[in-house]
């Protein structure tokens, strides 16, 4: 009787594997896998049928998910108490982060303050949370946090949300902890630009974001936008350390894509068309044996004015 049962199991496993080898229906194969006894499953799992094995594993995962017990949480006050208890902080920290989006606003503020009063990693997490879920009412809290610790993640929020008057009063610190570009983006477009504190890309981005007249580039040390673009194309090419034979085109370079985005915002249609044309020319000469051919092509291209 036992031998007959074993033979039947082998026969069933063979039929399942055989079905899984052809043009099978995945839904039907999953149902077959779900119907198998443990003995037949073992035979299939020891076979060479990857599809049948995958169906069984899929069913296993579904069964595990069905019986998974979700954690039972206590009150937020209890979790905060555990957070402030030595030896219990790590688990409580994870729980507070998970629950934060789903609790009342009053409880959220309690959790935020608890985390702010915690370790550096908790303050970091709070600032990252507010990047995506900014709450204007919490600006005084973030400003206080920044003034106490002078940490870059708090500076990031202050630069983007604090009043301009505050930013100007703390400009040196905020530039140090964040960047001159982000600080300057908060100012009026007509205010002076300290170009020596910006890369070419940052300068172009500033002009694009604030719609500054490109004629002001002369005040920043550039004869024209075209001259600046030529320098940026050379920089982008050199940054990728290409030799001419492995070059894939100017438009494939991330810095060139970003530059074109800025030029688009500045309504520089003709200049973008010239970059597209130069991209075509450089691709044609990419396999040329002449040393530094791409540099030469970019340098000698006439962008006009």
Instruction: Say how many C-beta atoms besides its own lie within 10 A of residue 132's C-beta.
Output: 6
Answer yes or no: is pLDDT of 304 > 80: no
Quick one: pLDDT band at residue 240, thresholds 50, 70, 90?
confident
Q: How far apart are CA 284 and CA 299, in angstroms?
A: 16
Indicate if 99 and 137 belong to the same structural domain: yes
CB 130 within 8 A of CB 117: no
CB 20 within 8 A of CB 29: yes
269-284 vs 293-300: helix crossing angle, rounded to 10: 150
| Phi and psi, residue 11, nearest 5° | -65, -45
pLDDT digits (tens, 9 = 90+) for 191-203: 999 999 999 999 9
Q: How far apart are CA 58 and CA 33, in angstroms?
A: 9
**Tokens (6 digits) for 210:** 């604030």
**Tokens (6 digits) for 186:** 């908060």
Average pLDDT of the residues in 183-192? 95
Percent of the chain beyond pLDDT 70?
93
Q: What is the span of the domain harbouring residue 141?
A: 76-190
**Predicted TM-score of the model (pTM):** 0.72
| Within-domain flag for 227 | yes
Percent of the chain beyond pLDDT 90?
58
| Within-domain flag for 102 | yes
Instruction: Name the burial class of residue 279, with classes exposed (0-12), middle (13-18) and buried (19+) by CB atoms within 10 angstroms of its CB.
Output: middle
pLDDT digits (tens, 9 = 90+) for 150-181: 999 999 999 999 999 999 999 999 999 999 99
| Residue where a domain stops, chosen among 67, 84, 112 | 67
Closest CA to 95 of 113, 121, 115: 115
| Within-domain flag for 305 | no
In this predicted model, which residue has the larger pLDDT, 45 or 123? 123
| The predicted structure's pLDDT at residue 73 | 78
Average pLDDT of the residues in 110-135? 94
| The predicted structure's pLDDT at residue 239 | 84
**Tokens (6 digits) for 103:** 């609790």
Indicate if 181 and 222 belong to the same structural domain: no
| The predicted structure's pLDDT at residue 209 | 96
> Worst-scoring range by mean pLDDT, 14-23, 101-110, 171-180?
14-23
Largest CA distance in the chain: 96
Quick one: pLDDT band at residue 246, thresholds 50, 70, 90?
low
Answer yes or no: is pLDDT of 243 > 60: no
Closest CA to 117 of 140, 95, 141: 141
Q: Return the residue matching tokens 């595990």.
A: 64
Indicate if 40 and 55 belong to the same structural domain: yes
| The predicted structure's pLDDT at residue 37 | 84
Indicate if 220 and 282 belong to the same structural domain: yes
Give the distance, in angstroms, between the CA of residue 227 and the centroid of all CA atoms in the same chain: 32
Report the mean per-residue pLDDT for the chain: 88
């Amino acid at each position: 009787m036992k031998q007959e049962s074993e033979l039947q199991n082998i026969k069933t496993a063979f039929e399942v594997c055989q079905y899984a080898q052809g043009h099978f229906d995945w839904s039907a194969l999953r149902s077959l896998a779900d119907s198998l006894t443990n003995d037949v499953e073992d035979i299939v799992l020891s076979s060479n049928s990857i599809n049948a094995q995958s169906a069984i594993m899929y069913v296993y995962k579904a069964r595990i998910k069905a019986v998974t017990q979700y954690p039972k949480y206590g009150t937020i006050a209890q979790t905060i108490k555990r957070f402030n208890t030595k030896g219990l902080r790590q688990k409580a920290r994870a729980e507070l982060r998970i629950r934060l989006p789903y609790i009342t606003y009053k409880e959220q503020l309690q959790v935020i303050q608890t985390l702010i009063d915690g370790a550096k990693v908790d303050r970091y997490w709070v600032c990252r949370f507010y990047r995506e879920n900014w709450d204007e009412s919490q600006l005084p809290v973030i400003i206080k946090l920044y003034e106490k610790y002078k940490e870059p993640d708090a500076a990031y929020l202050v630069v983007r949300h604090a009043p301009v008057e505050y930013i100007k009063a703390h400009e040196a610190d905020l530039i140090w902890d964040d960047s001159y570009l982000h600080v300057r983006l908060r100012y009026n477009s007509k205010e002076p630009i300290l170009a020596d504190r910006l890369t070419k890309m940052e300068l172009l981005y500033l002009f694009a974001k604030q719609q500054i007249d490109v004629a002001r580039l002369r005040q920043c040390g550039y004869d024209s936008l075209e001259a600046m673009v030529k320098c940026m194309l050379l920089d982008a090419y050199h940054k990728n350390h290409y030799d001419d034979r492995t070059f894939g085109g100017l438009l494939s370079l991330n810095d060139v894509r970003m530059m074109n985005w800025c030029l688009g915002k500045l309504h520089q249609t003709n200049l973008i068309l010239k970059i597209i044309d130069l991209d075509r020319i450089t691709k044609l000469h990419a396999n040329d044996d002449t040393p530094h051919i791409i540099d030469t092509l970019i340098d000698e291209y006439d962008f006009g004015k």
